Amino acid sequence: MDLWPYLGFDHPVPDYTAPEPLAFPSNVAGSMQVWQLPSADRWLALTIGQADPEFPFQLLAAAGEATSLRDDTDGHGG
């Protein structure tokens, strides 16, 4: 899953902020792997991120409700 749209740079609302749990990973990683069972209303994701070149790499896990992955960025996400 591409995380760039969740940063909100192309969003029509100037003060758009991605909802958690997508806000933090989208600031330190470009993409993440997402798994969701068809009958489940939750998802699990993994990514590797680095806040800045002088910081260590981090293995990040996130979980959330399926609605947080839907296109709530007005055509710019999900």
For residue range 24-60, list pLDDT tens digits in order. Answer: 888 888 899 999 878 888 989 999 999 899 999 999 9
Whole-prediction pTM: 0.68
CA distance 73 to 53: 29
CA distance 59 to 15: 28
* Residue 70 pLDDT level (bands cut at 50, 70, 90): low
**Which residues have a Cβ under 8 Å from the Cβ of 59 and sit 6 or more positions away?**
46, 47, 48
